[in-house]
Structure 1
């Protein structure tokens, strides 16, 4: 049965101080959830949590590429609230590298891209799985990208890592059922500062080549994340695309 209330639920958002993470936190808080916004800076995380609608919210420190940090976060949240119901992985990183410039995508950058955009998401799920399973109705939402489907994105390794998130949802959706559902939300171009070097001119060009004639907003992605927790309760192991039809072009 779908529900529009998340009262009594606890949601942890990795990358919660970024544009999508903060929008997702505010949306889940409006639905009644207690929200933990995590980031690499304690003061920034605390300030972000203070902007959420009234409730029992926290700012916390976590490093997505450090598994020990993620385990410590899981223990901290579980100790504070006594439960964890929803894990949202919005943390990520990229750098624009032309796909044809093979030498520019060196080994160190490839390793960093996979550590932050794939390994970290898996490690977070691994750390939080016992707590999510204990509720009997846990949910993981990873924020991917249509780059994982189209092969068009900031660089080849980023596209591959995001494709890996799509496969992870399939694998873990199967493996963690029935007590934990795993879903991906996959946006196209979103109006945040996530990709360095993209300006208003890029956004305008992207809007013109998107069927719905605009680029995504952080709230579009947040609404899809909220739907995973409320309306789409019979869905797991799949990817929900919210790109305005961009991948159709």
Structure 2
């Protein structure tokens, strides 16, 4: 698709991966809608960065677990820009809990994570469907995780919610064509503040080192490298839908035999 002068709505884009995606698309001349749940100052900073790149940027507050908020996001986008070409369902949450600690999660934890990580993308896609179809060549990118494919990650509830998102991506891809392509991006370990805060500085550093050493490419994802994959799907993926793209330096493959 043509990125320049397109309009992208990126949920959860006040920091981290979402912010990197917004900046990357703005560099290509794409107007952006920045959404946040609590971090307004972060969202405003990302918006300013995007405007400095010569595009228009709109900042909106929303909780994607609330259907009314999802519908309002789309309406505000159309009121401002008159079109919507790209939806990036990036907003997400977790609870850090050792997988062996089955008592560490309860029913409400699962419901809270599913509400944002799985139901939120569904509600956003449903709200955006008419506007996306009207553009004829539109994209939905769901930010899933390797946790949803391998059953790893910050908690069992998180892995389950992202696994459901991967499955939902395939379901939506079947019914939203031919105008809308729906794909999932699955980062592995992503360097940055989110994981460092959740794991603690020492555990984060150890896991980063182990993950890099085990990956064939001996590196892990950053928000910026994830954003580049999203950009690639948008620019070159008009015949790609229902797919899941892993971004982990090949860590899911295991180390190469005989590597020294």
TM-score normalised by L of structure 1: 0.95
CA drift at 1:193:
2.4
Following the alignment from structure 1 to structure 2, what is the Cα–Cα distance between the partners of residues 221 and 111?
27
Find the counterpart in structure 1 of residue 46 from structure 2: 48
Following the alignment from structure 1 to structure 2, what is the Cα–Cα distance between the partners of residues 49 and 129?
25
Following the alignment from structure 1 to structure 2, what is the Cα–Cα distance between the partners of residues 179 and 232?
13
- Residues 1:14 and 2:11 are matched in the alignment: yes
Residues 119-166 of structure 1 deviation map (CA, whole Å, 9 limit, x = unaligned): 111111111111111111111001111111111111111111111111
Following the alignment from structure 2 to structure 1, what is the Cα–Cα distance between the partners of residues 189 and 146?
9
Following the alignment from structure 1 to structure 2, what is the Cα–Cα distance between the partners of residues 133 and 44?
31
Find the counterpart in structure 2 of residue 170 from structure 1: 170
- Residues 1:84 and 2:81 are matched in the alignment: no
Residues 77-114 of structure 1 deviation map (CA, whole Å, 9 limit, x = unaligned): 01110000000011111122111211111111111111
Find the counterpart in structure 1 of residue 132 from structure 2: 132
Find the counterpart in structure 2 of residue 225 from structure 1: 230
Find the counterpart in structure 2 of residue 246 from structure 1: 251
Q: What SS does structure 1 have at the residue aligned with 2:117?
A: helix
Contact 2:9 2:88 in 1 (8 A): yes
Following the alignment from structure 1 to structure 2, what is the Cα–Cα distance between the partners of residues 164 and 248?
22
Structure (1 or 2) with the greater helix fraction: 2
Following the alignment from structure 2 to structure 1, what is the Cα–Cα distance between the partners of residues 66 and 216?
39
Find the counterpart in structure 1 of residue 150 from structure 2: 150
- Pairing 1:147-226 to 2, within 5 Å after superposition: 147-195=147-195, 196-198=198-200, 199-226=204-231
- Residues 1:105 and 2:102 are matched in the alignment: no
Structure 1 residue ranges without an equivalent (≥5):
none
Following the alignment from structure 1 to structure 2, what is the Cα–Cα distance between the partners of residues 165 and 151?
13
Find the counterpart in structure 2 of residue 236 from structure 1: 241
CA drift at 1:44:
3.3
Structure 2 residue ranges without an equivalent (≥5):
255-260
Give the alignment's Cα RMSD to 1 decimal.
Answer: 1.3
- Residues 1:34 and 2:31 are matched in the alignment: yes
CA drift at 1:217:
0.9
TM-score normalised by L of structure 2: 0.91
Contact 1:92 1:116 in 2 (8 A): yes
Following the alignment from structure 2 to structure 1, what is the Cα–Cα distance between the partners of residues 32 and 225?
19
Q: What SS does structure 2 have at the residue aligned with 1:230?
A: helix
Find the counterpart in structure 2 of residue 93 from structure 1: 93
Following the alignment from structure 1 to structure 2, what is the Cα–Cα distance between the partners of residues 238 and 60?
29
